[in-house]
Chain A
Amino acid sequence: MSEVLVVVEATREFGVKKVTLEMLTLARELGTPSAVVLGGAGAADALAGKLGEYGAEKIYAAEGAEIDGYLVAPKATVVAELVQRVQPAAVLLASSQEGKEIAARLAVKLDNGILTDVVGLAADGTATQVVFAGSAIVKSKVTRGLPLVTVRPNSVNPTPAAASPAVEQLTVTTTDADKLAKVVERVAEQKGSRPELTEAGVVVSGGRGVGNADNFKLVEELADLLGGAVGASRAAVDSGFYPHQFQVGQTGKTVSPQLYVALGISGAIQHRAGMQTSKTIVAVNKDGEAPIFELADFGVVGDLFKIVPQAAEEIRKRK
């Protein structure tokens, strides 16, 4: 079976991201998964164990400052060379900003079609995409070149399949054109041990109804009790209640968790665009007519400052 390249997404703090395990799971349906690690020195060795657990038969690594000292261009050059050498059956990347950007450059370099935000991939390369704020489902195919797709987190259930991959170090030969956008500083802001928003199984979000930044502690408390991530509506972010990187909606992150809890969020289309493919939706809002209740599996009309603390207390009791 031909190789399927999976471009690994990982963080320094948490290692291999869940979406990478989802991609390895998908790749096994299409061929033999090979993981491609692009990062700082030693990145591949640190991730090899986990990648092997989920079926990576081989690991290609391109590491060092030549790779991670610049925005995505050097990474795309390395992957393009690898694609030309091994002629894979498909290339899978995460549907994150970086994954999409590497894919964008690959598409131009290889004159190859590209499909983004894919939530399912059949053996014949037909991809499923959810578009227009989750209101339509599209089936599409790359018609020139190989299937080059970016996979949206929480699309498939990652299943382990043990393999013991060897690491092959790739020679990095980048050009001056790859080094035009230089990263001069990286500042970590992520606080605590909450799961990453787009990958979390549970997301608890707050909206304008939360009232102020301090009150977001309530949202955080419920999120922590449920082992979830914290999100915020655009109204809450624009009002300065919570940082922008946690914004869920049309102009923010798209999430698709098992459980989405909306607190003090009216459910404007802007917000629904980012969360309405969640499996179960729960809402608390003082306005019984709020559109969020049209999609909620369970809704409580009332004062979130009474309901949420009571819910938190009840969860603690049951633990």
Chain B
Amino acid sequence: MNIVVLVKQVPDSGADRNLRSDDNTVDRGSASNVINEMDEYAIEEALKIKEAHGGEVTILTMGPDRATESIRKALSMGPDKAVHVVDDALHGSCAVATSKVLAAALSQLGADLVLCGSESTDGRVQVMPHMLAERLGIAALTGARKLTVDGTTLTVERQTEEGYEVVTASTPAIVSVWDTINEPRYPSFKGIMAAKKKPVQTLALSDLGVAAGEVGFDGATSVVVEHSKRPPRSAGVKVTDEGSGGVQLVEFLATEKFV
């Protein structure tokens, strides 16, 4: 099975994150950048499927030059190769335009199965799987906590607010996963060394037949008008329990009219 895993480089969600003051985009320059955590689960799932059914695992990333660091990191877990869509014109692209570019790349790669994380920790928008499915005319099975592959049939168990659903589709399809699906492996030393030699193909917009005007700020379908830091919360009252902590807590709740 030919599997493509979508990997996004994001600012570390454990560090201070900002928007740029000049163009209101995510500041990817000063932040420490990492693989979107949820994508590691998608990579792990792809590797498990390859181990069980054979095939090839390709990483697909759209992002600036420095996303190469994350691509090598992803490859060190075990995928075979990577495709990096990189083009200055992409800066400022909205989700709709991003889906256009990724769909064009996926069409060229001809995957049986596309795997991705359920959301990225920067935008948390969760729209990419269905945008890609809509463009490619393939099924989208989102939010998987369990994925079973049987020939060309995919079965996904997905969490819903009321319980869970079992959903099926035939390949080709795109499946997004939550962090409940598996436990991603750590790259081995051998894996890290091997990743340095794995092929990483770079594609520009012209290679994908997408015009520069359809992406970036020119092609954006939405715009951030302004942004500001939310004032940080300040600590309130802290008491140490000396036998009446529970009562004191309820007294506070009472003054705030919660009890």
Chain A interface mostly helix, strand, loop or mixed?
Answer: mixed
**With a CB–CB cut-off of 8 A, which chain A residues contact B95?**
104, 107, 114
Instruction: Please tell me if the beta carbons of B127 and A250 are within 8 angstroms of each other in the complex.
Output: no
B186 interface hit (Cβ, 8 Å): no
- Residues on B with C-beta less than 8 A from A302 are 240-241, 245
Contact check, A295 vs B235: say whether CB atoms are below 8 A apart: yes
Which of B130, B162, B166 is A185 in contact with, Cβ under 8 Å? B166
The answer for the CA separation of A315 and B229 in the assembled complex, in Å, is 37
Q: Does B199 contact A (CB under 8 A)?
A: no
Among the listed B16, B38, B135, which residue makes an inter-chain contact with A108, where contact means beta carbons less than 8 Å apart? B135
**Stretch touching chain B among A55-63, A156-164, A281-289:** A281-289
Closest CB in chain B relative to A69 CB, distance in Å: 10
CA distance A115 to B246 in the complex (A): 43
Q: How far is the CA of A100 from the CA of B124 in the complex (A)?
A: 11
B165 contact set on A, CB distance < 8 A: 183, 185-187
Contacts of A244 in B (CB 8 A): 145, 159, 178, 180
Chain B interfacial residues counted at CB < 8 A:
85
A111 — which chain B residues lie within 8 A by C-beta? 96, 221
Among listed A22-30, A45-53, A139-147, interface-contacting one = A139-147
Contact A189 B162, beta carbon cutoff 8 Å: yes
One of A33-41, A208-216, A268-276 at the interface: A268-276
Q: Does B58 contact A (CB under 8 A)?
A: no
Q: Which residues of chain B (138-166) have a CB below 8 Å from chain A?
A: 138-143, 145, 155, 159-166
- Cβ-based interface call for A97 (8 A): yes
Q: B258–A202 contact, CB under 8 A?
A: yes
Q: Is A239 an interface residue (CB 8 A)?
A: no
- A134 pairs with B230, CB closer than 8 A: yes
Number of A-B contacts (CB under 8 A): 283
| Cβ-closest chain A residue relative to B254 | A318
B127 contacts A114, C-beta separation under 8 Å: yes
Query: What CA separation (Å) do A298 and B258 show in the bound complex?
Result: 13
Query: When the two chains form their complex, are residues A303 and B241 in contact, meaning their CB atoms are under 8 A apart?
Result: yes
State whether A143 and B127 are in contact (beta carbons under 8 Å apart), knowing that A184-B166, A306-B246 are contacts in the complex: no
The reply to whether the CB of A296 lies closer than 8 angstroms to some CB of chain B is yes
B193 at the interface (CB under 8 A from A): no
A181: B residues at CB distance < 8 A = 139-141, 167-169, 173
Across-interface contacts of B252 in A (CB, < 8 A): 282, 297-298
Residue of B nearest to A258 (CB): B258
Q: A143-195: which residues lie under 8 A (CB-CB) from chain B?
A: 143-145, 177, 180-190
Residues B240 and A109 in contact, CB atoms below 8 Å apart: no
A12 at the interface (CB under 8 A from B): yes
- Are B13 and A269 in contact (CB-based, < 8 A)? yes
A259 touches B (CB below 8 Å): yes
Nearest Cβ in chain B — how far from A144, in angstroms? 4
Q: Is A293 an interface residue (CB 8 A)?
A: yes
Question: Closest residue of chain A to B224, judged by CB?
Answer: A140
Q: Give A72 to B236 CA distance when docked, in angstroms.
A: 44
Given contacts A251-B179, A299-B239, contact A143 B162 (CB under 8 A): no
Q: Name the CB-closest residue of A to B139.
A: A180
Do A311 and B249 touch (CB < 8 A)?
yes
| A131 vs chain B, min Cβ distance (A) | 8
Query: Known: A270-B14, A315-B259. Is A135-B167 also a contact (CB below 8 A)?
Result: no
Residues of B within 8 A of A251 (CB): 37-38, 121, 178-179
Partner of B227, one of A97, A136, A269, A301: A136
A120 within 8 A of B: no
Interface flags for B86-108 (1: CB within 8 Å of A; 0: not) read: 00000000111001000000000
Name 25 interchain pairs, CB-CB below 8 A, sorted by A.
A72-B130, A76-B130, A97-B143, A105-B133, A112-B96, A137-B227, A139-B226, A144-B221, A183-B167, A186-B162, A186-B165, A244-B145, A251-B178, A269-B13, A269-B14, A270-B14, A281-B233, A282-B253, A294-B233, A297-B252, A298-B237, A299-B235, A300-B239, A300-B249, A310-B244
